[in-house]
Structure 1
Amino acid sequence: MDVNELVQTVFSGISPLVIEDVVDEGGRVVVTARAPKEPGPCPVCGVLSGKVHGYHWRMVADVPVDGRRVVLRVRVRRLVCPTRGCRHTFREQVPGVLERYQRRTTRLTRQVKAVVKELAGRAGVRLLAALAMGLSRHTALRVLLGIPLPTGRIPRVIGVDDFALRRRHRYATVVIDAETHERIDVLPDRTAGALEAWLRAHPGVEVVCRDGSTTYAEAIRRALPDAVQVSDRWHLWHNLCEAALDEVKAHSTCWAAILDAPIYDGPRAQTTLERWHQVHGLINQGVGLLECARRLQLALNTVKRYARADRPERMLRVPKYRSSLVDPHRDHLRKRRAEDPAVPVQHLFEEIKALGFTGCLNLLHKYINQGRADADRSHISPRRLARMLLTRPENLKTGHRDLLDQLTAACPEMTHLSATVRTFAPLLKPQPENADELGRWIAQVRTTELPHLHAFTRGLERDRSAVIAAVTLPYSNGPTEGVNTKTKRMARQMHGRAGFTLLRPSSTRRRRGWRGGGRPSSSRRPRGWPGPASR
C-alpha cells in the first residue's frame, strides 16, 4: 500500500475532500485539503453555481488519530449566485463533512454527541479529553441540547409521581413507562393541569399507576375517563402501619400493665385529660369539630385525635425511652438492688463499669430514677411494639413472638388489631379474588372499636377503584419511585447549572435510564411485612 492509499484509508471519513498534505506537528496532525471543483447549490434559491468569487480557509477539528488531535485545514470557495435578486455570493459547504458555522467535522460531532448523551457535562468532558477530543463543559451541554428529540412510542401503562426541585418551593412530575421502567418525560410542576395537558397530548394510555394524590387522580379522570388508575401498594401498607401505630399508642394503658411499664402522670398527662373532657363535653352538646377547635384554640387535627378516643385513658402514653448503654447491665442492677436495696448508685456504677459499661454516672442515675432497672423486662415503646406487630411472624424471634402474643391479648382491641393486620398483608400480593377479600376486610374492620383503622378504611373507600386495581393487577408505582430518585440524583449532580431542561429524558438519557447506583426512597419498607413482592 503506497502513501496515498494509506492516507485515504486513515482519513476515509473526509473522502469528499481532496487531501493535499498531511503534516505531523508532534502534538497534533494537520491535514490540508480543498473542496472538489464541482458546482455548489445556493443555500437560498438552490441554483447550482461554479463561478468563483474568492477562496477562504476553514480550520475544523476531526476525529483523533493515534491519540493525537487532528486539525483539518480546508480551502473552500466563495461562489457567485447566478440568480438575479438572490444573495450575491455564498460559501460552499461539503455535506457530510463540513456544516455551516461548525468547527468540528460531522463525524467528530457525531462521536461527541454519543459521549455527552450518556455522561452529560463534566463527566463527558473528562472522557473526551482522554480521547484527545477536548472541549468545555458548556460546549458539551450545547451539543447535548442540540440533539433532536426522538419521537418515542406512547406506552400503554405509565406511572406518575412528584419530586422536589426545591423543597417546599418548587416541585415537578416524573412520568415513566411502568412496563419497561423507562423515564418518558418530566413535567415542570405537579398541578392537575400540567398532567392533564400531557395526557391529552399523548393518547393511548390505558393504565396509570399513582400514589394517593387526589390531584393526579382528578387529572387522570378528566383527561382519560376510561383509563384504569392503580394505587401504590407501598403507600397502602404505609398508611396501614401509621394507623396501627396510632392504635397501639391509644391502648398503651392496656399492654403497659403487662410489662409493668410506667405511664405519664405528670402535668402534661393532666393537661391531656383535661382537654379530653373539654373536647367531649362540647361534642356531647352538639358542637362541631371545627367549632371545638376554634373555642379551645387547638388545631383541628388535634381535636379529631381527642374525639377518636372513647375514654380519656386512651390519650395516655408510655414514656418514649430509647435504648440505653445501661440496658445490657439491667439484670445485674436488678439482682444487686434486690439483694441490697440501699446499695449506693456509685457502687453500682463501679461494678458495671468493670463489666464493660462505657456511660457516665448521670446516665445510670437517670436510668434508675425512671424505674427501668427494676422492671421485669426491658422497656418497649409503642413504635417498637407496632414494628413487632407489623413484622412477618416467621421473621420474629421466639421470645418476641411469645411477648407479642401476651401484649396483643391485653385487650380485645389489640387482639382485633393483630388479626386485621395479618389478614390485610396477603392482599398486597395481587390476585383476582382480592377484590372480594378487600370488601370483606373493610366490613370486618368496621365492626371493631378501632377508630384509627376506621379512618384508614374511609380512605380506601374514597379511592376504592384504584385500590381494587392495586390488589388485583400486577402494576405498581414502585418503579416510578426508583426513577424519581434517580432523577433527583441527576439534579443534585448538576447543582442547578444545567436547569430543568436537562432533567427531561429526551435531553439526558434518551429513555435509557440512569446507570448509577442508589436505592429509591421508597425502598425503605415500613415495618416490612409485604416485602419486595408488594412493589
Structure 2
Amino acid sequence: MSVVVDQMTHMPIALLEDRSGEALDNWLIRNPQIQYITRDRGRCFTEAINRIIPDVTQICDRFHLIKNMTDTMMPEIEIHNRRIEAYLHEQQKTVLKYVSELATIISAGCITRKILAQKMGSKISGALIGRITSSLRKRYQQKRKEVKEHNESIENGSKIQRVSQNQIRKYILKGESDNPKLAEPYKSSPQIKELLSVCQNFRDMINENTYDKDIRKWIEKAKATRNMALTNFAYSIEKDWEAVQAAIDIPFSSGLLERTVNKIKAVKRQVQ
C-alpha cells in the first residue's frame, strides 16, 4: 500500500491500495495542484508521477540516498565474513553438484585429500578433490595459523578488533576509524582514500555541508574512479538526477512520511 502525508500539516491525507496501479494513478490525477513531492527511489512512484503530473518537482529522500550509497560501497570495504564461494575458481564450481555433501564432510573435521576421497567414494576422483579443495586447504592452514597467533595475542593481553558493519558505514562516510583494520588501508591505499573522499563528498552535498552542490559534477567524479560499485551507483543517480538535485536544493524530505509509516505498521501489528 501507499500513504500520502502533507508536508505542511504533517498529517496523513490518503491511504492507497497499491504502490503502482489504478489507485495511485487516480489519486495523482485528482491532485494536479501538487508542486512538490518527496519520495524514495522506488521506480513505481517515479514512473507514475512522470506520467501523470510531469511538471511537479520531485525530491529524493536524503536518508535513502546516503543509505543507497553506503549499501553500494559496503562490499568494497567489507573485509570479513566472506563466503566459501569466494575461494572457488571456475573449475572447482563444476563440482557444485556435490558441494553440500563435501562441505558436510569437511565441517566434520575431514580436510585431507585422502580422507575426503574415501568419504566421497566414486562420486568425485581423488585428483579432482585435490584440485577443488586446494585453495580451501591452503586457506585452512592459513586460518589455523591466524587462530594460533590470535590465541597468543590474547595471552599477551592484546585483542584483535573485529570490524562491524556500523564501523564500516562510519568509515565510508567519515574516512576515519579507531579500528586499525580500517585505518591502515586509508593510509596505505590511494584507491581506498579516493573512493572514501568521493563518498564523503556525496554525503556533504546531500547534507548541504559544501558550497559545491552540483550533483552532475559529482556523478562525473564518481565515474572517473573506475570503481564498478561506485560507478554503478553514479549511473543510478544520473537517471534520477533532477530529483536528487532537488533533495540538495530544497529542504523538504520524507522523514515525516517514514514516521507515519512506522506508526501505521505499529497499529497493524497491534491489530494482528
| 1:427 corresponds to 2:243 | no
| 1:411 corresponds to 2:240 | no
Tell me the equivalent position of 2:49.
Answer: 220
The structure with higher relative contact order (CA 8 Å, sep 6+) is: 2
- Cα distance in 1 between the residues matched to 2:92 and 2:164: 21
Match of 1:233 among 62, 68, 72: 62
Deviations 1:281-312 (A, max 9, x none): xxxxxxxxxxxxxxxxxxxxxxxxxxxxxxxx
State the percentage of identical aligned residues: 25
Q: Matches of residues 452-467 of structure 1 in structure 2 within 5 Å?
A: 452-467=229-244
Tell me the equivalent position of 1:111.
Answer: none
Tell me the equivalent position of 1:378.
Answer: 160
Secondary structure of the 2:150 match is coil
In the TM superposition, residue 460 of structure 1 has moved relative to its aligned partner by 0.1
TM-score of the superposed pair, with normalisation by structure 1: 0.37
Match of 2:265 among 460, 475, 488: 488
Q: Which amino acid aligns with 2:168?
A: A
C-alpha distance 270-241 of structure 1, shift in aligned 2 (>3 A): closer
Query: Whose radius of gyration is greater, 1 or 2?
Result: 1
In the TM superposition, residue 432 of structure 1 has moved relative to its aligned partner by 10
In the TM superposition, residue 368 of structure 1 has moved relative to its aligned partner by 7.9
- Cα distance in 1 between the residues matched to 2:231 and 2:59: 22
C-alpha distance 189-465 of structure 1, shift in aligned 2 (>3 A): same
Contact between 2:39 and 2:58, CA under 8 Å: does it hold in 1? Answer: yes
Q: Matches of residues 61-80 of structure 1 in structure 2 within 5 Å?
A: none
Q: Which amino acid aligns with 1:409?
A: K
Tell me the equivalent position of 2:255.
Answer: 478
In the TM superposition, residue 179 of structure 1 has moved relative to its aligned partner by 2.3
Contact between 2:3 and 2:12, CA under 8 Å: does it hold in 1? Answer: yes
In the TM superposition, residue 173 of structure 1 has moved relative to its aligned partner by 0.5
C-alpha distance 201-431 of structure 1, shift in aligned 2 (>3 A): farther
Tell me the equivalent position of 1:69.
Answer: none
C-alpha distance 269-480 of structure 1, shift in aligned 2 (>3 A): closer
In the TM superposition, residue 176 of structure 1 has moved relative to its aligned partner by 0.5
Structure 2: where are the runs of 5+ without partners?
95-138
Secondary structure of the 1:208 match is strand
Contact between 2:204 and 2:210, CA under 8 Å: does it hold in 1? Answer: no
C-alpha distance 276-470 of structure 1, shift in aligned 2 (>3 A): farther
- Cα distance in 1 between the residues matched to 2:84 and 2:69: 32
- Cα distance in 1 between the residues matched to 2:2 and 2:60: 16
Structure 1: where are the runs of 5+ without partners?
1-171, 257-262, 279-318, 320-365, 496-535
- Cα distance in 2 between the residues matched to 1:402 and 1:381: 9
Alignment root-mean-square deviation, CA: 3.5
- Cα distance in 1 between the residues matched to 2:231 and 2:92: 20
In the TM superposition, residue 392 of structure 1 has moved relative to its aligned partner by 4.4
- Cα distance in 2 between the residues matched to 1:192 and 1:432: 39
- Cα distance in 2 between the residues matched to 1:421 and 1:486: 32
Tell me the equivalent position of 1:175.
Answer: 4
TM-score of the superposed pair, with normalisation by structure 2: 0.69
Tell me the equivalent position of 2:38.
Answer: 209
Contact between 1:244 and 1:386, CA under 8 Å: does it hold in 2? Answer: no
- Cα distance in 2 between the residues matched to 1:237 and 1:425: 6
Match of 2:221 among 437, 444, 447: 444
Tell me the equivalent position of 1:290.
Answer: none
Q: Which amino acid aligns with 1:442?
A: I
Contact between 2:161 and 2:179, CA under 8 Å: does it hold in 1? Answer: no
Tell me the equivalent position of 2:76.
Answer: 247
- Cα distance in 2 between the residues matched to 1:432 and 1:367: 47
In the TM superposition, residue 188 of structure 1 has moved relative to its aligned partner by 1.4
Secondary structure of the 1:180 match is coil
In the TM superposition, residue 202 of structure 1 has moved relative to its aligned partner by 2.2
In the TM superposition, residue 177 of structure 1 has moved relative to its aligned partner by 0.3
Tell me the equivalent position of 2:90.
Answer: 274
Q: Which amino acid aligns with 2:218?
A: W
In the TM superposition, residue 477 of structure 1 has moved relative to its aligned partner by 0.9
- Cα distance in 1 between the residues matched to 2:189 and 2:30: 56
Q: Which amino acid aligns with 2:90?
A: E
C-alpha distance 267-467 of structure 1, shift in aligned 2 (>3 A): closer
In the TM superposition, residue 447 of structure 1 has moved relative to its aligned partner by 1.5
Q: Which amino acid aligns with 1:390?
A: I
Q: Which amino acid aligns with 2:165?
A: R
Contact between 2:2 and 2:15, CA under 8 Å: does it hold in 1? Answer: yes
